[in-house]
């Protein structure tokens, strides 16, 4: 049998969309709000690292832009960034801590202990990272680069950032994650 082009296209499009998908998606704005930070105005890596780690734990996007980056490299992230003075950053951390506590409670109530353990492990990793400057900076840079990748930064840029983490902060958790990221990107 010979398939015509239009028959092939019709076959491809024949996918039943789940009922209720639109309604479910439309609830997203009621449940999630973006968190935007500008690190150059904060001037504290420790706070930024804490927020980045907390944000990644609860699965929200955290826009990070730091002074070492050349203008334009992260143009998507830099648009419409709200600058938080340090006092407000403290509030953000409080808010994020509440979210984590809430999430942990939900996980426990659902008896998803494996996830809870993963969460706690990541939390302690964050705590360790904050005590060691190289660990802290490597992890922050990794999380930011991963976020940049999600937001549409080019592969070349993200890969160069990952490479820089490996070279600048060898033997850190951030470098291992960067290495893993590059390995998997190559495999894909």
Q: What is the dihedral of CA 3, 6, 11, 17, to 10 degrees?
A: 180
Binding test (CB under 8 A) with another protein, winner from 43, 86, 133, 152: 152
Residue 79 binds another protein, judged by CB under 8 A: yes
Task: Give the closest residue to 64 by CA, choosing from 153, 128, 172, 127.
Answer: 153
Question: With CB under 8 A as the contact rule, which of the stretches 84-92, 121-129, 134-142, 143-151 interacts with another protein?
Answer: 143-151
Tokens of 146: 């991963």
Q: Which residue has the tokens 């894909």?
A: 188
Residue 60 binds another protein, judged by CB under 8 A: yes
Binding test (CB under 8 A) with another protein, winner from 12, 72, 114, 186: 12
Packing angle of the helix pair 133-150, 173-187 (nearest 10 deg): 30
Binding test (CB under 8 A) with another protein, winner from 40, 97, 124, 150: 150
Three-state secondary-structure class, residue 35: strand
Residue 109 binds another protein, judged by CB under 8 A: no
Number of residues that bind another protein (CB under 8 A): 40
Would you tell me which residues interact with another protein (CB under 8 A)?
1-3, 5, 8-9, 11-18, 21-22, 24-26, 28-29, 32-34, 60-61, 76-77, 79-80, 149-152, 154-155, 181, 184-185, 188
């Amino acid at each position: 049998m010979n398939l015509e082009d239009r028959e092939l296209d019709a076959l491809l499009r024949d996918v039943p969309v789940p009922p209720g998908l639109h309604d479910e998606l439309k609830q997203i704005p009621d449940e999630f709000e973006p968190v935007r930070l500008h690190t150059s105005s904060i001037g504290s890596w420790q706070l930024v690292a804490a927020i980045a780690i907390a944000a990644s734990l609860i699965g929200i996007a955290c826009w990070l832009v730091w002074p070492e980056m050349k203008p334009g490299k992260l143009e998507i992230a830099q648009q419409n960034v709200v600058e938080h003075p340090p006092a407000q950053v403290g509030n953000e951390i409080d808010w994020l801590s509440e979210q984590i506590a809430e999430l942990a409670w939900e996980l426990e109530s659902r008896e998803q202990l494996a996830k809870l353990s993963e969460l706690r492990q990541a939390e302690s990793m964050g705590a360790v990272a904050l005590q060691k400057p190289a660990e802290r900076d490597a992890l922050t840079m990794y999380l930011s680069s991963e976020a940049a990748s999600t937001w549409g930064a080019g592969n070349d840029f993200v890969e160069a950032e990952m490479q820089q983490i490996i070279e600048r902060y060898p033997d850190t958790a951030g470098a291992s994650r960067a290495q893993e990221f590059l390995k998997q990107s190559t495999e894909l």
